[in-house]
Structure 1
Amino acid sequence: MSNTGILYSFIGGAIVGAAAALLLAPEKGENTRRRIKEILQKKGILCSDNEIDALVEQLTEEMDAK
């Protein structure tokens, strides 16, 4: 394989890796909390921001315990 082929392979791999990282990276906490609140509201459950924060904290503790 020529040097040019190796360079193109490297660049192609870097592009695919960057795209995968963007797609699989977790969202910021603020966005996650907003999405949780929206999902709960669609199900008819009204929560304040403080209640969402408490729920996220509780779920995080439970996940860390496992």
Structure 2
Amino acid sequence: MKSLGYIGAFLGGAIAGAALGVLMAPEKGSDTREKITDAIDDFMRKHNIKLNRRDVGDLVDDIADATEE
């Protein structure tokens, strides 16, 4: 069971690091948010997860808000 905790912590750190790296890129925020939204759309399509564009946009905004803190 401990190994699942380590894997979860690793994956969480990797996701947070990737989000921070993308958000700290020297591009306009709107361009970066659009890229994140497109990446999430691609991921959702690949894994057959159904969310509308607005829900994905809300998720991107939540991630951006979490990384600003």
TM-score by structure 2 length? 0.48
Q: Which has the higher contact order (CA 8 A, sep 6+)?
A: 2
